[in-house]
A = this chain, B = another copy of it.
Amino acid sequence: MSELTAQKACTETLTRREQQKENRRLALIEAALAVFSRVGYAAAKMDDVATEAGVSKGTVYLYFDSKETLFKEMVRAKMSPMLSGMTDAIGQSSMSATDRLKTHMKFFYKKVLNSDRRQIMRLIMAEGPMFPDLAEFYHANILNRGQAMIGTIIQQGVESGEFREMEGHGLAQNIAAGALVAGIWKLVFDRFQPIDLDAYFDTHVDLILNGLRASSADN
């Protein structure tokens, strides 16, 4: 009921029991994501998470202290792969700032908006105020890095003459905003007015790059 390929990193060192234990844990996290996404944090029942993972409720508590812990660990677990992925993706290729920005935006659309993770994005917005430490984790580990990355690219672009200079309070947020809204739209309003993520992406890139581009006069 979910493709969880247990990390058989060190098959030697893990007994069969330990492997199964790790698999259970992953299965529970998948189940938790499914249930929390479907009905939100408060309405999610531990019983449903258990059923979705194919175990009984008591078992869930052998792996996670409480509903809150389960939720937080689920978010962290689903997000941590992004962390390495992001810094890796920077690379030192000799791309122009323009292409580099485009590449990173594509990466985000693919890895977040087109996957489970957009649900997490929504959950953070929905439950963030109730779980400040989760919001802080998300801010420190995802948003901050994203902003830094965008900042670096902009700077490169300004130096190379591709982009104009902008003072830019909230520039990074403004650049990323289109993508966040696309993710939310897909989850909340898609049924009333579907959006085509690929076409939307093109518009987004077009608008932003043109907005940043050094040209005639400024405002």
Taking a contact as CB atoms under 8 Å apart, the answer to whether B143 and A169 are in contact is no
User: Can you list 26 A-B contacts (CB < 8 A)?
Assistant: A40-B127, A40-B129, A41-B42, A43-B130, A122-B125, A125-B184, A126-B126, A129-B187, A135-B188, A139-B193, A140-B192, A168-B203, A169-B196, A170-B178, A173-B178, A173-B200, A174-B181, A174-B207, A175-B207, A177-B178, A178-B178, A180-B180, A206-B219, A209-B211, A209-B219, A211-B212
Residue A64 CB within 8 A of the other chain = no
Taking a contact as CB atoms under 8 Å apart, the answer to whether B182 and A181 are in contact is no
The distance in angstroms between the C-alpha atoms of A136 and B128, with both chains bound, is 24
Minimum distance in angstroms from A121 CB to a CB of chain B: 10
Q: A42-B43, A209-B211, A215-B216 are in contact. List 14 more A-B contacts (CB 8 A).
A: A41-B42, A42-B42, A125-B125, A126-B126, A139-B193, A168-B203, A169-B200, A169-B202, A171-B207, A174-B200, A174-B207, A177-B182, A181-B181, A205-B219
Minimum distance in angstroms from A176 CB to a CB of chain B: 7
The distance in angstroms between the C-alpha atoms of A192 and B88, with both chains bound, is 26
Name A173's contact: one of B125, B135, B187, B195 (CB within 8 Å).
Answer: B195
Taking a contact as CB atoms under 8 Å apart, the answer to whether A130 and B219 are in contact is no
Produce 1/0 per residue, A97-130, CB < 8 A to B. Answer: 0000000000000000000000000101111111
Taking a contact as CB atoms under 8 Å apart, the answer to whether A212 and B207 are in contact is yes
The distance in angstroms between the C-alpha atoms of A154 and B8, with both chains bound, is 55
Residue A61 CB within 8 A of the other chain = no
Minimum distance in angstroms from A140 CB to a CB of chain B: 7
Taking a contact as CB atoms under 8 Å apart, the answer to whether A188 and B124 are in contact is yes
